[in-house]
Amino acid sequence: MTTAHDFDATMIDGVDKRLADYRGKVLLVVNTASQCGFTPQYAGLEELYKAYADRGLVVLGFPCDQFGQQEPGDAEEIKAFCSLTYDVTFPMFAKVDVNGDDAHPLYAWLRKEKSGLPGGKIKWNFTKFLVDADGTVVKRYGSTTKPPSIAGDIEALLAA
């Protein structure tokens, strides 16, 4: 059975990361964008990360430019924006596609596991996937779901 731990991704600084390194952690995987109406969710994601990191939550941010070209910057620009504007400390990855033939393999798998829209496509920026400590996708949340409303689901997984 495939789990999130079977994938690798490139960090925003260009370093390859094995998601198996997060085995035993609860993951909140989010496709992000710096120029989106949902961009203020970075603040809520950071609050969740700070509140639960010591209990085993890791938020993983994946910048994506597939929706209205709302993430046009390069890695350095994205990193600076996240740090300076929202004081993001959770792991950020290199820009990826989340839909289509060039979708990152992690996102192709996440969409298959929790399909959401017909065909499993992601509708917009800040779609969130909650993954348990074993690497299984537990829940998918749309862009309009604000990070604080996910806290109860996170707490339940951390307590499991």
Task: Specify the DSSP class assigned to residue 99.
Answer: S
SS3 content of the chain, % helix, strand, coil (to 5): 35, 20, 40
Q: Which residues are catalytic?
A: 36
67, 94, 66: which is closest to 79 by C-alpha?
94
Q: Rounded to 5 degrees, what angle do the CA atoms 73, 142, 148 make? A: 90
User: Nearest Cα to 126, choosing from 76, 70, 83?
Assistant: 70
DSSP 11: B
* Phi, psi angle pair for 14, to nearest 5°: 90, -5
